[in-house]
Chains A and B, each alone.
Chain A
Amino acid sequence: QQQVKQSPQSLIVQKGGISIINCAYENTAFDYFPWYQQFPGKGPALLIAIRPDVSEKKEGRFTISFNKSAKQFSLHIMDSQPGDSATYFCAASYYGGTSYGKLTFGQGTILTVHP
């Protein structure tokens, strides 16, 4: 009920291409869906987050698409750059209240962008 499933496990993209990472969740009570980027030796850094009242959110080259009925959301990285090479995690949580911050993470996607 609490799982978040992420795919693919790894992804190789050419510079300038589009990277797409997908996540599916089970708990329909989740209402906060962030994406984190993690470089080796660093903690996860918040990239972008969405709540279920919108179907898409864009910040720069990063876009989240959200499909509430399918219980799926995805991260699109446009014009991918070698500096985007990192591990990406999707997550889900309740928004607000004492449970906000208790993130359930996906398994992670290792993104490699070739120059």
Chain B
Amino acid sequence: SAVISQKPSRDICQRGTSLTIQCQVDSQVTMMFWYRQQPGQSLTLIATANQGSEATYESGFVIDKFPISRPNLTFSTLTVSNMSPEDSSIYLCSVREEKLFFGSGTQLSVL
């Protein structure tokens, strides 16, 4: 199975700032996804990171707030922009091979 590395593993940020989360995979994968897990809650899909084109966002998520890059088949970034305390969540990168695997997540706290 793919090995997925996310950086940073956790961060504490000030309101109004932005944070970029990196996701690195040890093999080339076609499909990469970003999920959000709010405190004590389930996981919600933010967007599909498409290689070489704009990300595809799910209902309730917009590019201005969560810009995503996917420069190649092993790497993606998610930026959480203009953060507020409501953005405090775990952000998870997921990749699709035959099965679906998740990184260990980035725990974000916004003060």
A residues in contact (CB < 8 Å) with B: 34, 36, 41-46, 49, 89, 93, 98, 100-108
| B96 interfacial by beta-carbon distance below 8 Å | yes
Number of contact residues on B: which range applies?
20 to 34
Q: Which of B12-20, B42-50, B63-71, B73-81 lies at the interface?
A: B42-50
Query: C-beta contact mask, B1-33 vs A, less than 8 Å → 1, else 0?
Result: 000100000000000000000000000000101
Q: How many A-B residue pairs have CB under 8 A?
A: 55
Chain B 79-111 residues near chain A, CB threshold 8 A:
92, 94-96, 99-105, 107
If over half of A's interface residues share one DSSP class (helix, strand or loop), that class is named, otherwise mixed; here it is loop
In Å, the complex CA distance between A49 and B97 comes to 14
- Evaluate contact between A101 and B33: CB separation under 8 angstroms: yes
- Evaluate contact between A105 and B100: CB separation under 8 angstroms: no
- Evaluate contact between A43 and B102: CB separation under 8 angstroms: yes
- Evaluate contact between A46 and B99: CB separation under 8 angstroms: yes
- Indicate which residue in A34, A43, A108 contacts B42 across the interface (CB closer than 8 Å): A108
